[in-house]
Amino acid sequence: MRFRASCALASVWMLSCGTLATEAGDTGAERPNALAGPFRLLGKDEIDAPGAPYVLDKQFWRFRQPTVLADEPGVVLGATHLYAVATDTGVSGLFRFVAPDGRTFSPKPDPAAPVIALEDADAPEVARVGDAIWLFYSTPAGIFLARSSDGAVFELPTAPVLGPGGGGWEGGKPPRAPAHVQIAPDDHRLLYEVNGRIGEARSSNGEAWTRVGDGPLLEPGDDVDGEPAFDGFEVGDPEVLQARSPEGRWVTRVYYTGRAADGSTGIGLAARFGDEGPLERATSPAFTGPRGPRAPAVVPQGAFTLLFLEQRAGTKEDWPAIAAGIAPATRRIPVP
């Protein structure tokens, strides 16, 4: 009798082991390369100012062509400087703006005067090289390099470091929209836009640049499945950085503006292993939107990446403004 009761109890116990369902699954697993994109725009709770996803938006200032430099590399969402082309009371130039939290920029430039007071200065690119701040920019004469010790006062150069020339594919036009990366202490690379394509040059000191190869590094994209590519007409505004894959492979990533024949734009991603050779495109853009996104600037922030770009300020507001995005798109950075 006792045995039968034990059997019955054991059976009931085994059949009653069910518990409430759990909610989990592997689709939440983050992609190893999620820092590379795709990006989403920041939301209202992620910028400590009205107007998200815009971080700089004033109709007559016409903020455009951002480039960004963190004050202290390695500090997540620390003080950050953004250089952009802007127009103040009719005077255009390259201005510097400050964000204490890495993305909420004061609309008042610091310093108040442009750091490069040239009407035709365009497409700045800022980089920290040793103890100096280098600021590349382009004019109709080519690409110039200004240097500074504090990022606020720059010595104006008298001649471009990269002027018109190069192979036939450049068509004798001046290069613009520089993007700089330092591979080694005496190995600098400069990506630039000419003729709707992206080229590459190298230098040991930042002053004397030699074009790499006889052709462009990146050309407009081919049709995909019979459909025109988002960057099928022109590519430009490169932004370059180096990263290491989870398996330790060095990857050079290039973000760029892709333009289709209908005038629409998107932010593309192309990359290569190491620091030599051709670029390979990602299968889809890193960011798209209906307001003409262009001129990407990317800032790694440890577990995520911030993207700053230029696009129209609204559906009816057709002036340019600077917006911010983030990758992985699942990551949120609410303001404390």
Which parts of this chain interact with another protein (CB under 8 A)? 3-4, 7, 10-11, 14-15, 17-19, 21-22, 24-34, 36-38, 225, 227, 245-247, 249, 251-253, 269-273, 279-284, 290-291, 315-316
Tell me whether residue 11 or residue 204 sits nearer to another protein (CB atom).
Answer: 11
With beta carbons less than 8 A apart as the criterion, state whether 320 and 298 touch: no
- Residue 258: alpha-carbon gap to chain centroid: 13
Q: Of the candidates 137, 140, 130, 142, which has an alpha carbon nearest to the alpha carbon of residue 156?
A: 137
CB of 27 to another protein, least distance (A): 6
Tell me whether residue 205 or residue 245 sits nearer to another protein (CB atom).
Answer: 245
CB of 231 to another protein, least distance (A): 13
CA–CA dist 209, 215 (Å, integer): 16
CA–CA dist 136, 67 (Å, integer): 10
Tell me whether residue 7 or residue 156 sits nearer to another protein (CB atom).
Answer: 7
CB of 171 to another protein, least distance (A): 27
Tell me whether residue 1 or residue 112 sits nearer to another protein (CB atom).
Answer: 1
Tell me whether residue 103 or residue 253 sits nearer to another protein (CB atom).
Answer: 253
Tell me whether residue 89 or residue 315 sits nearer to another protein (CB atom).
Answer: 315
CB of 249 to another protein, least distance (A): 7
Q: List % helix, strand, coil for the chain (3-state, nearest 5).
A: 10, 40, 50
With beta carbons less than 8 A apart as the criterion, state whether 230 and 221 touch: yes
CA–CA dist 267, 301 (Å, integer): 19
- Taking the CA of residue 211 as centre, how many other CA atoms within 13 Å lie in the half-sphere pointing to its CB? 21
Compute CA distances 13 → 3, 19, 95, whole Å.
Answer: 15, 12, 73
CB of 309 to another protein, least distance (A): 16
CB of 69 to another protein, least distance (A): 25
